Structure 1
Amino acid sequence: MKPTESDGDPAERAAREATGWFVRLNNPLATDDDRRAFRAWLDADPAHAEAIGQTRDLWDRLEAPANRLGASGWHREIAPPRRRKRRASAIAAALLAAGFACLAIWRDVGLIDRAFADHATRPGERLDVVLSDGTRLFLDGDSALDASFAPAARDVTLLRGRAWFDVTPDAARPFIVHAGAIEARAVGAGFAVDRAGGSVIVDQGSALVTAKVGRPVSLAANQRAALAADGALEPPSAVNPDVALAWRRGLIVLDAAPLADVATELARLEPGRLLIPDPKLAALRLSGVFRADDPDAIVEAMRAGLGLKTVSLPGVATVIYR
């Protein structure tokens, strides 16, 4: 559509559209068509990527917006009389749109990562994908990754969440998963990588795991490696894949898990945040086996089993207290 006079500056128009995309993609009813339309919008103009980046920066700077706005002196600018009302309306609309965007990102912190990913899942969604080399991957809820295959290597970057890979063997092209501070390399294996937990679990074949510090760790089937507090990898430990990878079957197994970890699991299952303001409550532990499609059962277990109370704003946040 050709811009009209009311569209204003192209950069301002791109900023408004970027804000709209943040809100649209955060809608739990957003579809794959929505995501494809966003990709088309993003590719249509280099200014669109810049606008998305500026929206990200806005979220990062929310801790002290008043100080920054005051220091900028924007409120002291003198506009021509005819333009004052128009400028005030534009500022109000922009602030309202930015407020909606910031709320959308706050309640769903993975929104930006998923918007730019090759493959992604919203909270509560799981996805099976077959990559171009035949490798099968399974994404858990609120996960995102990029895949970049070349003649010498197959690189995957796990942007957030966790994924399981059934790697097609190719001795000439190792399969490498980058996930924050860790890297897992395999020629042919079945293994899962959890970016938030900084861990790798092998359920078939083998993999070599490295971190930014310390020595690499070689994992065989039914072994796990995870980052220690110093950023190095802990020695391999034995795991039961049926339990450790139960999330692949739509189950959440909690074995004396701290409530802080339970909050992480719930974030994969449904939109909104679980807030535990009291650190003592966050250290309480919960055990049980739950269905991934019934996150309310986990919250109810905290109420019934631990004597906790909750107050919720559906889709936005649940606060745990006593």
Structure 2
Amino acid sequence: MNSRTIEEQAAAWLVRRDGESWSDADAAQLATWLEESTANRVAFLRLEVGWEQSERLNALGAGKPRGVVPPRGEWRVSPLFKLRQAAASQRQRRFRPWLAFAASLLIAVLGGAYFLLFHSGEDYVTPIGGVASIPLRDGSNVTLNTASKVRVAVSDGERRIRLDRGEAYFEVAKDPSRPFVVIAGNRRVVAVGTRFSVLRDGDEIRVVVTEGKVRVESTDAPLDFESSKGGPLLLAGTIARASSTAVVVEASSLQRAEEMLSWRGGYLIFDETALADAVAEFNRYSARKVYIDDPAVAALRINGKFRATNADAFIRVLRDGFGIQASVSDDRVVLSSSP
């Protein structure tokens, strides 16, 4: 059974449990379903956490296109949040189909991203957990991920972005006369009209392309977008990892590329991801870091969609769904296997 089907079943069980007709027999059936697999338990627990928080949190950015951060004046309560309140108070059957839909989308809607941007001249910086949108005067847009910094320079001859740290997603307005250039370390990513992200980790970068094409090349090479000698050409759905000495290109799928950029909506998607890699991703969004002291725990594979800034909910799923021990202090969480 695939993860989408499991998620739909978990949402259906969650809505049934909150209904007026819930019985002991239903509770027994739910318990049986939860015992069938770890995937069932994880899906239900994850949705349950988000469902409980929907009664306390306002959803930011409802009604906005994917990847667009609303201006502060346009933040508002999600219609799904209002619908949840109405259903809880009135219990009218005509609302219940919407509740199932809301449960399945809840984690995405309540992204919980921390929308904050520090702007000084042409420098833009987000704090840990921050996500912000930067419209450029040429019609392009830059979305900054957590703990990121870029320097923007747009002239008549070139559009240049220097990524000093972190990750950014670029929606490039077409202008063949002015190449769009992203500098990260000693690598240069060149585009004309496309959509792609660049993640910088020291001297290494990762490029994910969702539309159009870009070229990854050394900053020592002459800048010539039409040249076929500058570096590998990346098409939509392609993922490239580059160090100071080499570029490795992976021909993936557009769906996978979009999942890797789900942080734009405030959440993280894992698909058979090693727990060590999932933890490393979560650590980018929180000052309190998570550590694993057991190789067997680090090697566990997980699936699911989680709010990027809510590591506590993630830890709860690991503890309740996988039986992992979590030792929590003010500045760290240490994961280990059960005794």
Corresponding residue of 1:223: 238
In the alignment, what sits opposite 1:262?
278
- Name which of structure 1's ranges 187-196 and 254-263 shifts more when overlaid on structure 2: 254-263
Residue in 1 that maps onto 2:206 = 199
Structure 1 distance, partners of 2:210, 2:216, is 14
SS at 1:233 equivalent:
strand
User: Which protein is richer in helix relative to its size?
Assistant: 1
1:144 is matched with which residue: 138, 141, 149? 149
SS at match of 2:133: strand
**Preserved CA contact (<8 Å) 1:124 1:142:** yes
Deviates more, 1:264-273 or 1:206-215: 206-215
Distance (whole Å) between structure 1 residues aligned to residue 165 and residue 153 of structure 2: 16
Superposition RMSD on alpha carbons, in Å?
3.1
TM-score, structure 1 as length reference? 0.57
How far apart, CA to CA, are the structure 2 residues paired with 1:182 and 1:142? 20
- Please state if 1:302 is matched with 2:302: no
How far apart are 1:136 and its partner, in Å? 0.6
**Cα distance in 1 for residues equivalent to 2:291 and 2:186:** 26
| Match in the other structure for 2:129 | 124
What is residue 301 of structure 2 aligned with on the other side? Answer: 285
**Stretches of 4+ moved more than 4 A in 1?**
114-117, 211-215
- 1:177 maps to 182
Q: Distance in 1 between matches of 2:296 and 2:243?
A: 23
Give me the identity figure in percent: 30
Shift of 1:254: 0.7
Structure 2 SS opposite 1:195 = strand
Q: How does 1:1-322 map to 2 (within 5 A)?
A: 118-180=123-185, 182-196=187-201, 198-210=205-217, 216-227=231-242, 231-240=246-255, 241-314=257-330, 316-322=331-337
CA displacement at 1:311 relative to structure 2 = 1.8
Task: Give the Å deviation of 1:126.
Answer: 0.9
8 Å contact from structure 1 (residues 126, 141) kept in 2:
yes
| Shift of residue 212, structure 1, vs aligned partner | 8.0
Change (3 A) 1:256 1:228: farther
Q: Which range is displaced more, 203-212 or 253-262?
A: 203-212
Per the alignment, do residues 237 and 153 of structure 1 end up closer, same or farther by CA in structure 2, a change over 3 Å counting?
A: same
Are the counterparts in 1 of residues 197 and 207 from structure 2 also a CA contact under 8 Å? yes
Query: Aligned-pair distance for 1:225?
Result: 2.0
Deviations 1:253-282 (A, max 9, x none): 011222332223212322222222344433
- Structure 2, unmatched stretches of 5+, are 1-118, 221-228
More displaced 10-residue stretch of structure 1: 304-313 or 252-261: 304-313
Cα distance in 2 between the residues matched to 1:184 and 1:215: 10
SS in 2 for 1:134: coil
| SS of equivalent residue, structure 2 residue 175 | coil
Tell whether the 8 Å contact from 1:215 to 1:233 is kept in structure 2 after alignment: no
Task: Return the TM-score normalized by structure 2.
Answer: 0.54
Q: Deviation per CA, 1:234-267, whole angstroms, max 9, x where unpaired?
A: 2433331442322212221011222332223212
For the structure 1 residues 264 and 178, does the alpha-carbon distance in structure 2 shift closer, same or farther, using more than 3 Å as the test?
farther
Bigger relative contact order (CA 8 A; separation at least 6): 2
Residues 212 and 281 of structure 1, relative CA distance in 2, 3 Å threshold:
farther
For residues 116 and 137 of structure 1, the distance between their equivalents in structure 2, rounded to whole angstroms, comes to: 16
User: CA-to-partner distance for each residue in 1:273-302, whole Å, 9 max, x for gaps?
Assistant: 222234443333322111234322222222
CA deviation after TM superposition for structure 1 residue 228, in Å: 7.8
Counterpart residue type for residue 136 of structure 1 = N
Letter aligned with residue 207 of structure 1: V
**Distance in 2 separating the partners of 1:275 and 1:117:** 36
**CA-to-partner distance for each residue in 1:166-195, whole Å, 9 max, x for gaps?**
112222221111224543110111111122
C-alpha separation between the residues in 1 aligned to 2:277 and 2:238?
21
Q: 1:277 to 1:259 in 2, by over 3 A?
A: same
Number of aligned positions between the proteins: 209
Alpha carbons 1:212, 1:232 under 8 Å: kept: no
